[in-house]
Amino acid sequence: METLCIILGCLCVAAGLIGCVIPVIPGPLLAYCGFFPLLVINKGPSTFIWWMASILLVSAAVLDSVIPALGAKKFKASKYGMAGCFIGTLAGAFFFPLGLVLGPFLGAFVGEMLKGRKIHEAINGGTGALLGFLAGTFYKLFVASLFAYWFIKAAAV
């Protein structure tokens, strides 16, 4: 039973790490779920780690949608560009792995062009959206990696 629970937890954590780079898969949430099988065998993390993990999970969920928009806004993208970034991010997931990088940029670029912006303004908006998307992805990877570390530490006890 113990081996099965640890394997199930490892699968959740691994899927969570992979999910951090695929926009339609909730990476940090899956990695967080890896803690639950450890509870069955009384190897769960400490209460402090549970609280920290919960706070990080919520922050990753919120920042995942806020950071790309802030990046686009910082580079003076319009609402069309920010909406295009969101649509491009989702569409880019179907063209893994190149679409993950180009999707947010092209979506914001097309949105800016539809707004009637000049090409250099559309490129700026796309660049901001892309940088925001990448920053959000790196944060999710950081959170999921921290969960993986805590999982390994708790499972090894």
Domain span at 20: 2-155
- Tell me what pLDDT residue 55 has: 95
Measured between alpha carbons, how far is 56 from 149 in angstroms, rounded to an integer? 14
Q: What is the pLDDT of residues 38-97, one digit of tens each?
A: 888 888 788 899 999 999 999 998 888 778 778 877 888 888 888 888 888 788 878 877
Residue that is written with structure tokens 């910082």 in the block: 74
On the 0-12 / 13-18 / 19+ scale of CB atoms within 10 A, 12 is buried
Q: What is the pLDDT of residues 100-123, one digit of tens each?
A: 778 888 888 898 899 888 888 888
Average pLDDT, stretch 13-24?
Answer: 88
pTM: 0.81
Number of domains in the chain: 1
Rg (CA), the chain: 18
Q: Is the pLDDT of residue 130 over 90?
A: no
